[in-house]
Amino acid sequence: MSEVPVRDVILSDAAVLAALHGVCFDRGWSVESMQTCLAAPGTFGLIAGHDLALGMVLARLSAGEAEILTICVHPDNRGVGVGRLLLDRAAALARDQGGKRLFLEVAARNAAAGALYRSANFRQIGKRANYYPAETSDDMPDDALLYVRELE
Ligand SMILES: CC(C)(COP(=O)(O)OP(=O)(O)OC[C@H]1O[C@@H](n2cnc3c(N)ncnc32)[C@H](O)[C@@H]1OP(=O)(O)O)[C@@H](O)C(=O)NCCC(=O)NCCS
Protein backbone atom coordinates (compact mmCIF):
# COMPACT_ATOMS: atom_id res chain seq x y z
CA MET A 1 0.00 0.00 0.00
CA SER A 2 3.00 2.29 0.28
CA GLU A 3 2.52 3.26 -3.40
CA VAL A 4 -0.76 5.05 -2.61
CA PRO A 5 0.03 8.68 -1.78
CA VAL A 6 -1.37 10.02 1.47
CA ARG A 7 -1.41 13.71 2.37
CA ASP A 8 -2.77 15.97 5.08
CA VAL A 9 -6.31 17.25 4.61
CA ILE A 10 -6.78 21.03 4.32
CA LEU A 11 -9.91 23.14 4.65
CA SER A 12 -10.32 23.52 0.88
CA ASP A 13 -10.66 19.70 0.60
CA ALA A 14 -14.13 19.92 2.19
CA ALA A 15 -16.07 19.45 -1.08
CA VAL A 16 -13.94 16.49 -2.22
CA LEU A 17 -14.22 14.87 1.19
CA ALA A 18 -18.00 15.41 1.34
CA ALA A 19 -18.39 13.82 -2.11
CA LEU A 20 -16.39 10.75 -1.05
CA HIS A 21 -18.23 10.55 2.25
CA GLY A 22 -21.55 10.64 0.41
CA VAL A 23 -20.51 7.67 -1.75
CA CYS A 24 -19.40 5.68 1.31
CA PHE A 25 -22.23 6.35 3.79
CA ASP A 26 -26.03 6.38 3.49
CA ARG A 27 -26.02 9.70 5.30
CA GLY A 28 -22.86 11.42 4.15
CA TRP A 29 -21.80 14.76 5.56
CA SER A 30 -22.59 17.96 3.66
CA VAL A 31 -19.81 20.27 2.52
CA GLU A 32 -20.81 22.67 5.32
CA SER A 33 -20.60 19.93 7.95
CA MET A 34 -17.23 18.90 6.57
CA GLN A 35 -15.96 22.49 6.74
CA THR A 36 -17.18 22.85 10.32
CA CYS A 37 -15.50 19.59 11.28
CA LEU A 38 -12.20 20.50 9.62
CA ALA A 39 -12.16 23.94 11.26
CA ALA A 40 -12.72 22.60 14.79
CA PRO A 41 -9.67 22.80 17.10
CA GLY A 42 -7.59 19.63 17.21
CA THR A 43 -9.02 18.18 14.01
CA PHE A 44 -6.67 16.59 11.52
CA GLY A 45 -7.16 14.34 8.56
CA LEU A 46 -5.57 12.40 5.73
CA ILE A 47 -6.63 11.79 2.17
CA ALA A 48 -5.37 8.87 0.05
CA GLY A 49 -5.08 8.90 -3.73
CA HIS A 50 -3.52 10.76 -6.66
CA ASP A 51 -6.06 12.94 -8.50
CA LEU A 52 -9.05 10.97 -7.23
CA ALA A 53 -9.70 10.64 -3.51
CA LEU A 54 -9.64 6.89 -2.74
CA GLY A 55 -10.07 7.21 0.98
CA MET A 56 -10.08 9.60 3.91
CA VAL A 57 -9.79 9.68 7.66
CA LEU A 58 -10.63 12.53 10.03
CA ALA A 59 -9.60 12.55 13.67
CA ARG A 60 -9.43 14.90 16.61
CA LEU A 61 -6.85 15.21 19.36
CA SER A 62 -7.57 16.84 22.69
CA ALA A 63 -5.69 16.59 25.99
CA GLY A 64 -3.73 13.50 24.91
CA GLU A 65 -6.77 11.56 23.74
CA ALA A 66 -7.50 11.16 20.05
CA GLU A 67 -10.67 9.99 18.34
CA ILE A 68 -11.39 8.79 14.82
CA LEU A 69 -14.31 10.93 13.63
CA THR A 70 -14.82 9.16 10.34
CA ILE A 71 -12.95 6.87 7.98
CA CYS A 72 -13.98 5.56 4.58
CA VAL A 73 -12.62 4.12 1.37
CA HIS A 74 -14.32 4.40 -2.01
CA PRO A 75 -16.20 1.14 -2.77
CA ASP A 76 -14.04 0.55 -5.89
CA ASN A 77 -10.87 0.57 -3.78
CA ARG A 78 -11.75 -1.50 -0.73
CA GLY A 79 -10.00 -4.63 0.47
CA VAL A 80 -6.52 -3.65 -0.70
CA GLY A 81 -5.23 -1.98 2.45
CA VAL A 82 -6.17 1.69 1.98
CA GLY A 83 -8.26 1.78 5.16
CA ARG A 84 -5.49 0.20 7.20
CA LEU A 85 -2.92 2.59 5.74
CA LEU A 86 -5.05 5.62 6.66
CA LEU A 87 -5.78 4.32 10.15
CA ASP A 88 -2.13 3.58 10.88
CA ARG A 89 -1.01 6.97 9.54
CA ALA A 90 -3.66 8.76 11.62
CA ALA A 91 -2.54 6.84 14.72
CA ALA A 92 1.08 7.83 14.05
CA LEU A 93 0.11 11.49 13.61
CA ALA A 94 -1.88 11.47 16.84
CA ARG A 95 1.05 9.86 18.67
CA ASP A 96 3.52 12.37 17.23
CA GLN A 97 1.32 15.19 18.53
CA GLY A 98 1.28 13.73 22.05
CA GLY A 99 -1.74 11.43 21.86
CA LYS A 100 -1.69 8.54 24.31
CA ARG A 101 -4.77 6.65 23.14
CA LEU A 102 -6.91 6.58 20.02
CA PHE A 103 -10.64 5.89 20.40
CA LEU A 104 -13.37 5.13 17.92
CA GLU A 105 -16.92 3.93 17.79
CA VAL A 106 -18.46 1.52 15.28
CA ALA A 107 -21.84 -0.07 14.67
CA ALA A 108 -21.80 -3.74 15.69
CA ARG A 109 -23.20 -4.77 12.32
CA ASN A 110 -20.37 -3.06 10.41
CA ALA A 111 -18.30 -6.20 9.85
CA ALA A 112 -15.76 -4.60 7.49
CA ALA A 113 -14.95 -1.77 9.89
CA GLY A 114 -14.80 -4.13 12.87
CA ALA A 115 -12.34 -6.35 10.97
CA LEU A 116 -10.23 -3.33 10.07
CA TYR A 117 -10.07 -2.09 13.67
CA ARG A 118 -9.26 -5.47 15.19
CA SER A 119 -6.54 -6.05 12.59
CA ALA A 120 -5.11 -2.60 13.47
CA ASN A 121 -4.67 -3.48 17.18
CA PHE A 122 -7.79 -1.82 18.54
CA ARG A 123 -9.49 -3.57 21.44
CA GLN A 124 -13.10 -3.27 22.42
CA ILE A 125 -13.62 -1.44 25.72
CA GLY A 126 -17.35 -0.88 25.78
CA LYS A 127 -20.74 -1.14 24.15
CA ARG A 128 -23.70 1.23 23.93
CA ALA A 129 -26.74 -0.98 23.48
CA ASN A 130 -29.17 0.06 20.74
CA TYR A 131 -27.25 3.29 20.19
CA TYR A 132 -27.95 3.48 16.46
CA PRO A 133 -31.67 3.72 15.66
CA ALA A 134 -33.28 1.42 13.09
CA GLU A 135 -33.03 2.96 9.63
CA THR A 136 -36.14 1.30 8.18
CA SER A 137 -39.28 -0.27 9.64
CA ASP A 138 -37.77 -3.73 8.87
CA ASP A 139 -34.55 -2.84 10.61
CA MET A 140 -33.45 -3.19 14.25
CA PRO A 141 -31.47 -0.70 16.36
CA ASP A 142 -27.77 -1.51 16.51
CA ASP A 143 -25.20 -1.43 19.28
CA ALA A 144 -22.24 0.95 19.20
CA LEU A 145 -18.94 -0.73 20.03
CA LEU A 146 -16.20 1.42 21.58
CA TYR A 147 -12.62 0.58 20.67
CA VAL A 148 -9.25 1.93 21.80
CA ARG A 149 -5.67 1.62 20.59
CA GLU A 150 -2.76 2.52 22.83
CA LEU A 151 -0.39 4.86 21.00
CA GLU A 152 2.73 4.63 23.17
C1 LIG B 1 -14.30 -0.03 6.74
C2 LIG B 1 -13.49 0.39 5.52
C3 LIG B 1 -12.91 1.80 5.77
C4 LIG B 1 -12.33 -0.60 5.32
O5 LIG B 1 -11.45 -0.08 4.34
P6 LIG B 1 -10.59 -1.06 3.38
O7 LIG B 1 -9.61 -0.22 2.65
O8 LIG B 1 -11.50 -1.90 2.57
O9 LIG B 1 -9.86 -1.97 4.47
P10 LIG B 1 -8.46 -2.72 4.27
O11 LIG B 1 -8.36 -3.23 2.87
O12 LIG B 1 -7.36 -1.81 4.72
O13 LIG B 1 -8.60 -3.95 5.26
C14 LIG B 1 -8.11 -3.90 6.60
C15 LIG B 1 -8.45 -5.21 7.30
O16 LIG B 1 -9.86 -5.34 7.42
C17 LIG B 1 -10.31 -6.53 6.77
N18 LIG B 1 -11.54 -6.23 6.05
C19 LIG B 1 -11.79 -5.15 5.27
N20 LIG B 1 -13.02 -5.25 4.73
C21 LIG B 1 -13.53 -6.42 5.16
C22 LIG B 1 -14.76 -7.10 4.94
N23 LIG B 1 -15.72 -6.57 4.13
N24 LIG B 1 -14.97 -8.27 5.56
C25 LIG B 1 -14.04 -8.80 6.38
N26 LIG B 1 -12.83 -8.21 6.62
C27 LIG B 1 -12.60 -7.05 6.02
C28 LIG B 1 -9.21 -6.88 5.80
O29 LIG B 1 -9.20 -8.26 5.53
C30 LIG B 1 -7.98 -6.43 6.52
O31 LIG B 1 -7.59 -7.40 7.48
P32 LIG B 1 -6.04 -7.85 7.61
O33 LIG B 1 -5.28 -6.58 7.92
O34 LIG B 1 -6.07 -8.80 8.75
O35 LIG B 1 -5.68 -8.42 6.29
C36 LIG B 1 -14.37 0.38 4.22
O37 LIG B 1 -15.01 -0.87 4.13
C38 LIG B 1 -15.40 1.48 4.16
O39 LIG B 1 -15.12 2.59 3.73
N40 LIG B 1 -16.65 1.17 4.60
C41 LIG B 1 -17.75 2.15 4.55
C42 LIG B 1 -17.54 3.27 5.56
C43 LIG B 1 -17.44 2.74 6.97
O44 LIG B 1 -18.18 1.85 7.38
N45 LIG B 1 -16.51 3.34 7.74
C46 LIG B 1 -16.29 2.97 9.13
C47 LIG B 1 -17.31 3.59 10.00
S48 LIG B 1 -17.02 3.22 11.72
**Which pLDDT tens digit goes with each residue over 76-86?**
999 999 999 99
Going 75 to 79 to 84 to 86, the CA torsion angle's sign is negative
- To test the ligand 1 pocket, which listed residue (84, 135, 143, 149) has its Cβ within 8 A of the most ligand atoms? 84
Which residue range is the domain that position 97 belongs to?
6-150
The predicted structure's pLDDT at residue 80: 97
Q: Is residue 28 part of a domain?
A: yes
From ligand 1's centre to the CA of 102, what distance in Å? 18
Contact in structure between 108 and 145 (CB atoms under 8 Å): yes
The predicted structure's pLDDT at residue 78: 98
The predicted structure's pLDDT at residue 2: 64
Q: Is residue 1 part of a domain?
A: no
Cβ-proximal residues to 128 (8 Å cutoff; 6+ apart), any chain? 105, 143, 144, 146
Any idea what the CATH number is for the domain that residue 83 is in? Answer: 3.40.630.30
Q: Which residues are catalytic?
A: 105, 117
Q: Is residue 46 part of a domain?
A: yes
The predicted structure's pLDDT at residue 1: 65
Residue 49: CB within 6 Å of ligand 1?
no
Residue 23: CB within 6 Å of ligand 1?
no
The predicted structure's pLDDT at residue 86: 98
The predicted structure's pLDDT at residue 67: 98
The predicted structure's pLDDT at residue 3: 86
From ligand 1's centre to the CA of 84, what distance in Å? 7
Residues in the chain with pLDDT values less than 50:
none
Q: With H, G, I as helix, E, B as strand and everything else as coil, classify residue 40.
A: coil
CA distance 144 to 130: 7
How many domains does the chain divide into? 1
